[in-house]
Structure 1
């Protein structure tokens, strides 16, 4: 199976926090999932922990490589820039990733959030989301139980799958 591509400074095991969530679903294809994930303004419709999504730049209405955007999640106002955007193609996974940041000084949080969406044999799709984080807030999140990142990202995956299934009916 394919893996996330990590930029320097955000490799799991060398960051302050890491979360990994994955689902494999039968009867769904990467092409059905992709539009819901690549349109960040759609996130709040299926993921309650995202809000107030807006793109920077005139006429920007979807994620793409280099696109700057803003959203709120886990109580953080996040500025972000998409740094990987590869739609799924026959035999190749779709990839979306962004660098996000919030706060300043000791309250600064830097993250790399990546998604991989790939078709598997038997009419299945694999959706993997992983996030690494650096900064004091990341240290606190890593110690929290239950883990808010693992639980929040699972909610995101579950909502994404449900929305994709409903849209495909």
Structure 2
């Protein structure tokens, strides 16, 4: 049985203004090989063109539990806080999730998201990478109506870039 995302109160899919889910299962990679490309947020722009201006807490080299950080994506300046961080270990999936927000509370521009990743090793030398995001706020309602869906397409680009970056690093090692 495959694992699933852990949702905080107020962010359960189907109960929010927008939800997207993207997943890949690939052979020849492991959760341990994928993990550094997610927790080292500074490298996101190198394989995901829709992210930029990543700023971690001073002195930090990678995302850590409870850390507040900043990045730009989908045209939004996003402040975020890591709310779940579980490195890969034998028999258990790796998990990272953050609550992100943009805009002032109480305004039509306010957007709140829960973006979660689950990376798990499967039998046969395969790895599953699942990313899901729920969103609340007027911008989320607008994104939910957009065709083609920019969140689905953007997160697929993130997954595809992630897999490509890990494979390239592995073959050049």
**Smaller-chain TM-score range?**
over 0.9
Instruction: Give the SS at the match of 1:106.
Output: coil
Gapped runs of 5+ residues in structure 2? Answer: none
Aligned-CA RMSD value: 0.5
Q: Measure the CA separation in 2 of the matches of 1:13 and 1:150.
A: 16
Deviations 1:106-128 (CA, angstroms, capped at 9, x unpaired): 11000000000000000000000
Partner residue, 2:79: 79
Q: Measure the CA separation in 1 of the matches of 2:146 and 2:170.
A: 37
Deviations 1:110-166 (CA, angstroms, capped at 9, x unpaired): 000000000000000000000000000000000000000000000000000000001
1:34-53 counterparts in 2 under 5 A?
34-53=35-54
Aligned pairs, how many? Answer: 168
Partner residue, 1:19: 20
1:2-13 counterparts in 2 under 5 A?
2-13=3-14
- Structure 1 residue runs of 4 or more that deviate by more than 3 Å after TM superposition: none
Instruction: Say yes or no: does 1:125 pair with 2:127.
Output: yes
TM-score (norm 1): 0.98
How far off its partner does 1:59 sit?
1.4
TM-score (norm 2): 0.96
Gapped runs of 5+ residues in structure 1? Answer: none
